[in-house]
Amino acid sequence: IAHRNDIPSELKKEIKNTLQNKLHRCAGPEDLATSAALLKRITAPNAGYSPDFVKEFREFHRELKEFFNASSLEEQLETMLRESSVHNSHILELVHKFLEAKEKAHTTDELVTSFELLTMLRSQFTEKLKGKTGSRRQKLQMTDIGLEDFSFVLLSQLINLFDALEKEINWLPALRCLELAIENLRLSGFDTKECQAMESELKAWIRGFRPQDREQLIRLKATIDRCRRLAEVYCNRILALFPEKVERLGQSLGVDRHKIKIFCEVDIRSHLVFQVSKLIALLLKGIRRLASLPPWDVIVPGKTSGRLVEAACLDDLPGPFDKAIVVLMEKVEGDEEIPAGIVGLIVAHETPLLSHLAVRARQGEIVFIVCEDADRYSELKNSLGKQIVLDISAEEVNLEFSSSPEQEGITERKRKVLQKQAQVPDLLLCSDRKLLPLDQVRPATGGSKADASRRLEELSQIEGAGFVTSPGVVVPFGVMQESLNKASVLEQEYRILVSRLNELPQSDFFEALRKLQSIIRQLDVPDEIISGVMEKFVRDERLMVRSSANCEDLEGLSGAGLYDSLANVSPPEIAQAVKKVWSSLWTRRAALSRKKLDIPHDRAYMA
C-alpha cells in the first residue's frame, strides 16, 4: 500500500513510518488506532482518494483487526461466510439466520429467536472446536467469545421487556430465556454437569406450565433457586481467584486504586451470569406473588426468644452462650456448627431445607427462618441487642420484641447430657477384608450410615415394597489404619499430631488438621478395593463415595455434614475419592464438633 502510485508521496511516507515500520518492529494494538484514524481520513467526504486505494486500505484495516482479535461479531461471522469452503453448510445457514434475526430483533419473540439461534451456533462451534488446532481454532474461539458477549446484551434487552410488564410476567418466553442462558453458561465451560441438570429440569417444567397452578410454581421455584446458587458459585469463584492478585499487580503497574477495587465487581457484572441473576430475581418475585408465598421461608418451626445479635459467620461467634441468643446473618455456607446457646437463626439468604445447617438446627430444636424481603431484614438489623420472640409455624411467622429478661442459653447440666448422648459405640476393625458386600455390613464394621443402606436394601426386597436401592459395597473400619501402618514415617507423625491436637492454640490446631489431611492423602488404597469396585461397577457408571464414620448418626449426634461424600466418581477414580473421604475425618467442622462434645480424636474412625 505504501508503494502505490495513486496516492500522494506525503501519505506514502506517513503509512511507511507510522504503520509499516512500526508493525515490522513491534506490532501493538496502538497500530490499530493509527490505521483507524487513517481510514477515517481517507474515507471522509470529498477526501478525493482513489477508490481502488480506499478499497485496499479497508481490506488491510479489516485484516489488522482480525490480527488483533478486534473484529466485531458481525465482521467475524461475515468472514466465516466468505470462507465457506472451511465450514459446513449447517453452520453457514445458522450464521445467515442469526445475522438476519439480529438485524431486526426488537420484540420479545424476535429477541428470543435471536437468542435461540445464537445458542445453536455456539453449540455447533463447541463441537467443531474439538477437532481444530492453530489459527483456525483461534478464529473460531474468538467468534464464540463474541457470541458469548452478545448473549449478555440479548438477555439484558429481554429482561428490560419482561420488567416493563410489571406484575404480568410473560412466563413461557422468560423461562425459555433462563433455559437458554443456562445452556450458554454450560457452553462457556462453567459447571457443565450442574447446568445440564438445570436445563433438563427447566425443559420439563416449561411443558404444560400453568402459572395458575400453585404446585407447579413451587416446583419451579426450587429449580430457579438452584439456578441462583449457580450464579453465586460463579461470584464466589471470582472473589476467591482474583482480589489478592489484582491488588498486587495493580499496585505494581500503578493502576488507579478505584479500578483495582472494582475489578472483580466489573468482571461479575459484565458476565452473562449477572443477567441470569437479574432474571431469576424477576421470576422469584412473580412466583411469590402468584403462589401467595410470604417473604419468609420456614426451615425449622417453633417458639423461642433471645437477644438479637448479628454475625457474618457462625464460626465467628464465641459460644457457648450462657444467655439465649437469636442470630441474624446475611448468608450461610450451610455446613457450619451452631454454637451452644443459640436458640434461633434468621438468614437473609435462601437456604435449602435439607442443608446440613438446617438438619442440625432441626435436631437441636433451633428455630430457623429465611427472610427474603430486604426491607424487613433491614428493620430487624435496626433492632440488634433487643430481646426478640419468635413464634414460627409453617403457615405463619410472628416476630415480637419483648422487655422480658434474657433466657438462659445452654446450661452446664444440658451440656453434660449432650455429651453423654454422644457416646461413641465400640467397633470392629477389619484388616483381613478390605471390601464388604452391603448385606454383610453392621454398625460395628461400617458405621450407622452404611448399616442404614443395608437395611434399606433389605426392605426393598420385600414383596410390594415399591422401591429399589442403588447397589453398594463398603470399605470397613480399619482399612485406613492398615494403610497408615504400612507407611511408618507418616504413621508416626499422624499419631503425634492426634495426641497433641486439643492442646494446641487455634491457629496451630487448624494447621495440624491440614497436616493430618495431607498425610491421609499420601496413603495407598489397597488394590483389593480398586479391583473390587471395578468388578462391581461398569467403567462408565458414576458412584457416590459416602463417608460413614463412627461419630455420626448417633442418638445424640447426627453429625450431618461433618464428613465429606463425593458425587459423580467414575470407578477408575475410586482410590483418590476414598482418600478424600478418609481425610474428611479431619475437616475443621468435624474436629471442632468432637472437641466440643469431648469425643477423643483417637476414637474417631472412617468407613
Largest CA distance in the chain: 101
Q: Is residue 55 part of a domain?
A: yes
Of residues 296 and 111, more confidence is placed in 111
Q: Which of 65, 94, 110 is the last residue of a domain?
A: 65
| Residue 42 pLDDT | 93
Q: Tell me the pLDDT tens digit for each residue of 9-56.
A: 999 999 998 998 888 877 777 888 899 999 999 999 999 999 999 999
| Residue 359 pLDDT | 67
Q: Which of 275, 290, 305 is the last residue of a domain?
A: 290
Q: Which of 274, 290, 306 is the last residue of a domain?
A: 290
- Burial track 166-185 (b if 16+ CB lie within 10 A, e otherwise): eeebbbebbbbbbbbbbbbb
Both 117 and 23 in a single domain? no
**Which band of pLDDT confidence, cut at 50, 70 and 90, is reported for residue 411?**
very low
Phi, psi of 462 (to 5 degrees): -70, 135
Q: Tell me the pLDDT tens digit for each residue of 354-393.
A: 566 776 787 678 999 988 777 788 889 999 999 999 988 7
Residue 445's H or E segment, with its range, is helix 443-460
Examine the pLDDT at 345 and tell me if it is beyond 90.
Answer: yes
What global pTM score does this model have? 0.53
Asked whether 90 and 121 are in contact (CB, 8 A), the reply is no
Q: What is the CA radius of gyration of the chain?
A: 31
Residue 220's H or E segment, with its range, is helix 214-241
Q: What whole-number distance in Å separates Cα of residue 548 and Cα of residue 533?
A: 17
Both 400 and 448 in a single domain? no
Mean pLDDT of 469-493: 94
The grid coordinates listed for 127 are 463441537
Of residues 258 and 463, more confidence is placed in 463
Length of the chain: 607
Between helices 192-206 and 171-187, what is the axis angle to 10°? 160
Question: Using CA atoms in the order 107, 109, 111, 115, what is the torsion angle rounded to 10 degrees?
Answer: 180
Phi, psi of 598 (to 5 degrees): 55, 35
Mean pLDDT lowest among 369-378, 443-452, 583-592: 369-378
The grid coordinates listed for 573 are 477414580
Mean pLDDT lowest among 100-109, 116-125, 360-369: 360-369
**Which band of pLDDT confidence, cut at 50, 70 and 90, is reported for residue 410?**
very low
- Fill in the DSSP letter of residue 349: S
Examine the pLDDT at 90 and tell me if it is beyond 50.
Answer: yes
Q: Which of 77-91, 173-187, 368-382 has the highest mean pLDDT?
A: 173-187
Both 304 and 394 in a single domain? yes
Q: Is residue 421 part of a domain?
A: no
Both 404 and 478 in a single domain? no
Amino acid in the structure at residue 159 = I
| Residue 476 pLDDT | 95
Examine the pLDDT at 69 and tell me if it is beyond 60.
Answer: yes
Both 308 and 403 in a single domain? yes
Both 252 and 341 in a single domain? no
| Residue 554 pLDDT | 65
What domain count does the chain have?
4
Amino acid in the structure at residue 199 = E
Of residues 322 and 446, more confidence is placed in 446
Q: Is residue 331 part of a domain?
A: yes
Q: Is residue 221 part of a domain?
A: yes
Both 260 and 388 in a single domain? no
Q: Is residue 279 part of a domain?
A: yes
Across the strands, what pairs with 549?
A: 606
Both 104 and 223 in a single domain? yes
Q: Is residue 189 part of a domain?
A: yes
Strands (E) across 261-418 are located at 296-300, 302-310, 325-329, 342-347, 367-371, 387-392, 397-402
Q: What whole-number distance in Å separates Cα of residue 563 and Cα of residue 520?
A: 14
Beta pairing, strands 436-437 & 473-474: antiparallel
Amino acid in the structure at residue 130 = K
Q: Is residue 154 part of a domain?
A: yes
Both 327 and 186 in a single domain? no
Verify whether residue 106 is a known catalytic residue: no
Between helices 257-269 and 214-241, what is the axis angle to 10°? 150
The residue among 95, 106, 235 whose CA lies nearest residue 161 is 106
Q: What whole-number distance in Å separates Cα of residue 159 and Cα of residue 49?
A: 47
Both 60 and 106 in a single domain? no
In percent, the amount of the chain with pLDDT more than 90 equals 44
3-state secondary structure of 603: helix
Examine the pLDDT at 413 and tell me if it is beyond 50.
Answer: no
Among residues 3, 349, 356, 601, which one is catalytic?
356
| Residue 598 pLDDT | 79
Examine the pLDDT at 556 and tell me if it is beyond 60.
Answer: no
Both 277 and 348 in a single domain? no
Both 184 and 57 in a single domain? no
Examine the pLDDT at 117 and tell me if it is beyond 70.
Answer: yes
- For Cα atoms 473, 360, 555, give the angle at the middle one, nearest 5 degrees: 65
Asked whether 65 and 10 are in contact (CB, 8 A), the reply is no
Measured distance between the N- and C-terminal CA atoms of the chain, rounded to whole angstroms: 75
Give DSSP secondary structure letters for 449-477.
HHHHHHHHHHHHTSTT--------EE--T
Examine the pLDDT at 540 and tell me if it is beyond 90.
Answer: no
Mean pLDDT, the chain, whole residue set: 86
Range of the structural domain that residue 30 is part of: 9-65
CATH label of the domain that carries residue 501: 3.30.1490.20
User: What are the Cα distances from residue 417, in Å, to 187, 235, 557, 597?
Assistant: 54, 42, 12, 10
